[in-house]
Amino acid sequence: MLEKINNRQVDPKHLSSFLRSRNCIDDSSVDNCLSFYDIIYVIQNDTNSESNRFKTEYIDQLEINLTLAYTDRQLCEEQIQEGQRIRPITVGMLCRETKSKSIEVVGLNMDKDLGMTNFENFIFVPPFDEITGQYILSPRDEAISLLSIDNESHRFMGVEATFFSITNKGLVTFGSEERQDYLNNLIDNLSFVIPRIPQPKGSANIICLLLNLENSIEERAFVRDYPTFDNYTEVLFVNSELDLLTGNLSTIDYDGASLEGIYLPLIKRAKGRLN
């Protein structure tokens, strides 16, 4: 399953009902989209308070709070109240300021048309897990395999990564039909979240899905060409056979004896993709 959203176990795909129109992240064209380094605007509350530092909006239907941000200062000015002020901030810095122990959500360009709250888009902020030393989208007990990563080597080599892991551990009590419904729902949620995760540019940028399920058919269902928030980020997959796959099922050769043997092919690949 996915990690909790704003400390609540909700399906992030339900946020799609609050989108007011098709947006650039879902389109084949990514022109004029935001990136990790673009400036947006937030409304800062009383600076003496660390909780709810930036203005938020509570979504009653999902029982979660979203941090509000605007791509245009004028849109932000329409929402400001006494005792608040507008602060320009990069997308990346806002992600760092709002991260917590669960996945957090930034709502972009909120509007309340005829009393209906809607947004131009959303940004998802994965939590940083202190135990594994990685950004993760799945609960910590599903991400035990990440403990094998040498965090110092990871940091020294400059690869930016976000991980999602799924195993049979949480599925053993499901019947076959219930299991399939669960996996299909999870894929729908990942399809909504993955294109909305910013990353700082590294020597390579990956969102990696670690798949260890009952059979290759179940695992292959997760493998697809997901769009990403930043054009330098790529979604990769590791299956139960330890194959490293791209979204079109191509295999990336690597040497699993060390992190260097895994990361060097990814860094070389990243250079080729952007040239």
Break the chain into its structural domains and give their ranges: 12-125, 128-274
10 touches 17 (CB < 8 A): no
In sequence order, which residues have a C-beta less than 8 Å from that of residue 198 and are 6 or more positions away?
34, 35, 36, 91, 92, 95, 123, 229, 230
Q: What is the pLDDT of residue 236?
A: 98
pLDDT of 50 reads 58
Q: What pLDDT is attached to residue 154?
A: 93
Q: Is the pTM of this model over 0.85?
A: yes
How far apart CA 11 and CA 161 sit, in angstroms, is: 23
C-alpha 69/C-alpha 73 separation (Å) is: 10
Digitized pLDDT (tens) for each residue of the chain, 275 residues in all:
899 999 999 999 999 999 987 555 554 433 447 999 999 999 998 755 556 689 999 999 999 999 999 999 998 988 888 889 999 999 999 999 998 999 999 999 999 876 678 999 999 999 999 888 899 999 988 888 888 899 999 999 999 999 999 998 878 788 889 999 999 999 999 999 999 999 999 999 999 999 999 899 999 999 999 999 999 999 999 999 999 999 999 999 999 999 999 999 999 999 987 76
Give φ, ψ of 236 to 5 degrees.
-125, 165
Q: What pLDDT, on a 0 to 100 scale, did the predictor assign at position 194?
A: 97
pLDDT at 26: 53
What pLDDT, on the 0 to 100 scale, is given for residue 1? 84
The pLDDT assigned to 252 comes to 97
